[in-house]
Structure 1
Amino acid sequence: MKSLIVDISHHQPSNKINWAKAAKEVALFIIRVQYGSNTIDREYKNHVAHCKKYGIPFGHYAYGRFVSVVDAKVEANDFLNRIDKEAKFLVLDVEELTTPKNQIVQASQAFIDVCKNAGWKTGLYTGHHFYKPNGMDKVKADFLWIPRYGVNDGTANKKPDFLCDLWQYTEKGKVSWYPSYLDLNNLHGTKSLEWFIGNMKIAEAPKTQVKSEIVKKPSGNSFIKTFQKWLNSTYKAGLVVDGIYGDKTKTEAIKALQTELNKQFGAKLVVDGKWGPKTKSAIRTVKKGAKGNITRIIQGMLYCLGYNPKGFDGIFGNGCESAVEIFQDDNNLTSDGLVGKDTFDEMF
C-alpha cells in the first residue's frame, strides 16, 4: 500500500529519482514552486511532469519571502500563475521573519486568502519553534503542516506539541528510489489521505457560483463599514468606521452577541467581548428563516471574514445560508448552513 508523503524541490533533481519505483510507494508528493516571487524552483515542472506520467498525486508549496501584506498578495498571485492546475492543494511555507513581527500573521493570512479566494484548498507550513512565538496559530488555513524531527534519524520519534494535520517527522528519510535524504511526512490529525488528494473545492458545484462573489477584504471595505456603523448605532460600540476588520470590531461583535443572548434567551452573560465557554454554551443554533439582530451579527461577521451573505438585513435567506456553507466548508466544519456553537466558535 502506498503510504509515503514526500516534499521535494530542486534540491532533489528529477533525474535522480527512480519514478517507476517511487510510484509504487509514494501516496503524495508536495512540490515546491517558488522561493519568494523572484526564485522559481528549477525542477518543479519536471517533478510535475513525472507525477502526471506515473499517476502520483501532488500538491504545491511556496516558500514565503514577502516583506509586507501587499507583497504577500503579489507573491500569492505569482504562485497562482505558476502552479499546475492538476495540483490537489496549495501550501504557504513561512519559516522566517521577512516582514516585521507585528505584520507576519496579517501578511501570511493575506497570501492564504488570495489562494483560497481563487478556489484552492490552502494550508500553512511553519516551524515548530516559530509557530506560537510569532502568532502563526492565529493564521486561518485549511490545514496545518508542522515539522518536528526529534533525533532526526529517519524515523518518526518526537511528535509536534501542537495539533496539526501533517507532521514532517524527518529530513533524513531514506528510500530505495532516491540516492540521498528526503523530507518525509505523516498524516497526524483527523484528515484522511483522501481529504488531501480528493477533488479541489474549485471543482465543486453549485457552491462555486457563490464563491466567485465572495467579498475580499481591502482597507475601506464598505460592507465592514456598514457593520461597524450598525454596531455603533445599536450597541454604542464606539468603533472607528474604517472598514478594517480588527480585534476591536471583533470584540464589539461578541459584545453584541452576548447582549442578544441575554435579551432573547436570558443567558445572564457578562458582556465583556470575550469569546469563552460560557458564551459558547449560551449559543442557540441559527438557521435559514431566522430574523433579527443575531442574524445581522452573523451577516456582519461573514462580511468581515470575506464571505458574501448577499445582504445585511437581519434575514437569514438563501444568500446567507450559502455563505455559511462555504465558510463551514473552508474551515472543515459540517457544511449544513446552520450557525451553531462550532460555527460561531470559528467566526470568533
Structure 2
Amino acid sequence: MSKIADLSHHQGTIDWTKASQELIFAILRVQDGSRVIDRQYKNYVAGAKKYCVPFGNYAFTRFVSINDAKVEAKDFWNRADKTAEFWIADVEVKTMGDMRAGAQAFIDELQCLGAKKVGLYVGHHVYKQFQANKIKADFVWIPRYGGQEPSYPCDLWQYTETGQLAGVASNVNLNRLTGSKSLAYFIGTPVKTPAPNPVVKPVSNTGDSYTVKSGDTLSAIAARYKTSVSEFARLNGIKKPDLINLTQKIKIPGSAPAKAPTQKAVYHTVKHGDTVSRLAVKYKVTQAQIKSWNKLKDINKIYVGQKLRVK
C-alpha cells in the first residue's frame, strides 16, 4: 500500500480487489458542478468500503456567484457519502469575477452543513490569480507535474496525471503528502504499527528443562524465566551463549516461568459522530481489529449506544 489516487468516472470500472492492495487512500469525485453527477461515484464508494480503503470526497466547482457556490456546496453534501474522512472544493477554472470569495463561500457552506475537514484543491497556474493563500481551508492540495514540487505551501501534491494503479485500465492522478499533516489526518486510522515482539513460549517444559525451538535465543529464554544468560550458561555448561541448537534441552534454574500477562478488554459506547476509523485512532488499534473483536459485517454501520470492544 503506497498510493494516493483521485478517481472519477473517467477511470471506468475498477477492480477493487487489486486497487485496494496499492491504495493508502482514495479521493473520489462526487460531481462536476451541480449539473453533472459522477457516474461511478457510488460504485467507487461501495468498493472502497468493501475493501476497507479510506476515502475523501471532492467536487469540481462551476459556481458563478456567491449564492451559486452555496447551492453547489449543498448539492455536493447531499449527494456524497457522509462517512468520508474529508471533503474538497476543486477550484481550477475561472467561473466568476471573485474566485476567492466564491471558493470561500463553498467551503464555509460545507462546514455549516457538517463537514469536519474541508480542503481546497487549486490549480498551480491560478493560485495567485485566485488569491488562494487567503482562502481559509483545513488543508490545501495542488497539482504540478514534471517532477517539480508546487511553489506554494500545500499538504497534498498531485504529481502526475499518468500514474498507474492496479485494477484500473486507464491512467490515474497520483498524489503525495507534502505538508505537516500526518497520514492519520487523512485516513482516520493509524499508520501500520510494528508487530509486537513475540512472546517466547516453551514447546516442551517439564518444570526443570526447556526444549529450544526455532527462533529462540538464550537471552530471550533467560528473560522469559527471569534469570540471566550467565546463569543459564553456567547451569548448562554453555561456552558460547550465542550458539544454541534446535531441540536442545536446557536446564531451567529456579521455578517455572511466570505466565505472560493478559490484556484486559476495553469497551467503548458509541456516541454521535463516532466511526470505526476514529475509534481506531483514539485507541491506537486497527479498524480490522475492531471489526474482528465485534464481529462487524460492515465497519461503516455502527450505532449510537452500541458497545464495542476497542482494545
TM-score range, shorter chain: 0.5 to 0.7
What does residue 118 of structure 1 align with? Answer: 113
Cα deviation, 1:159-196, whole Å, max 9, x if unaligned, reads 11111000000000023322221000000101111001
Which of 17, 21, 35 is equivalent to 1:20?
Answer: 17
Given the alignment of the two structures, is residue 173 of structure 1 paired with residue 169 of structure 2, yes or no? no
Of 59, 81, 85, the residue aligned with 2:78 is 81
Q: How does 1:230-249 map to 2 (within 5 A)?
A: none
**Aligned-partner SS, 2:111:** helix
Secondary structure at the counterpart of residue 39 of structure 2: coil
Q: Which residue does the alignment assign to 2:102?
A: 107
Shift of 1:116: 1.4
Task: Give the equivalent residue in structure 2 for 1:183.
Answer: 173
Query: 1:60 matched to which residue of 2?
Result: 57
Deviating 4+ runs (over 6 angstroms): none
SS in 1 for 2:58: strand
SS in 2 for 1:203: coil
DSSP-derived class of the 2:170 partner: strand
Task: Report the AA paired with residue 114 of structure 2.
Answer: G
What TM-score do the two structures reach when normalised by structure 1? 0.53
> Are the equivalent residues in 1 in contact too, given 2:22–2:166 (CA < 8 A)?
no
Contact residue 32 and residue 62 of structure 2 kept, 8 A: yes
1:139 shift after superposition: 0.5
Aligned to 1:290: none
How far apart are the structure 2 equivalents of 1:109 and 1:61?
15
RMSD of aligned alpha carbons? 1.4
Counterpart code for 2:131: G
Decide which of 125, 140, 163 is 1:129's aligned counterpart. Answer: 125
Counterpart among 43, 67, 71 of residue 68 in structure 2:
71
Q: Residue 145 of structure 1 is aligned with which of 141, 161, 167?
A: 141
Distance 1:144 1:203 in 2: 24
Secondary structure of 1:59 counterpart: strand
Q: What aligned pairs does 1:1-348 form with structure 2 within 5 A after superposition? A: 2-13=1-12, 15=13, 17-100=14-97, 103-120=98-115, 121-150=117-146, 157-198=147-188, 203=273
- Percentage identity across aligned positions? 54
Matched position secondary structure for 2:9:
coil
Secondary structure, aligned partner of 1:80: helix
DSSP-derived class of the 1:159 partner: coil
Counterpart code for 1:76: A
Give 2:242's aligned residue: none
Aligned residues: 191
* Cα distance in 2, alignment partners of residues 96 and 176 from structure 1: 30
Structure 1: any 5+ residue segments left out of the alignment? 151-156, 205-348
Q: TM-score, normalised by structure 2?
A: 0.60
CA contact (8 A) 2:120 2:139 kept: yes
Give deviations 1:14-65, integer Å, cap 9, x for gaps.
x2x2211111110111000000011111110011011111111110000000
Q: Which has the larger radius of gyration?
A: 2
CA distance in 1, matches of 2:42, 2:155: 26
Distance (Å, rounded) in 2 between the aligned partners of 1:50 and 1:176? 14
Greater length-normalized contact order (CA 8 Å, ≥ 6 residues apart): 2
Unpaired runs of 5+ residues, structure 2, are 190-271, 275-311
Whole-angstrom distance in 1 between the partners of 2:113 and 2:129: 30
Structure 2 letter corresponding to 1:141:
A
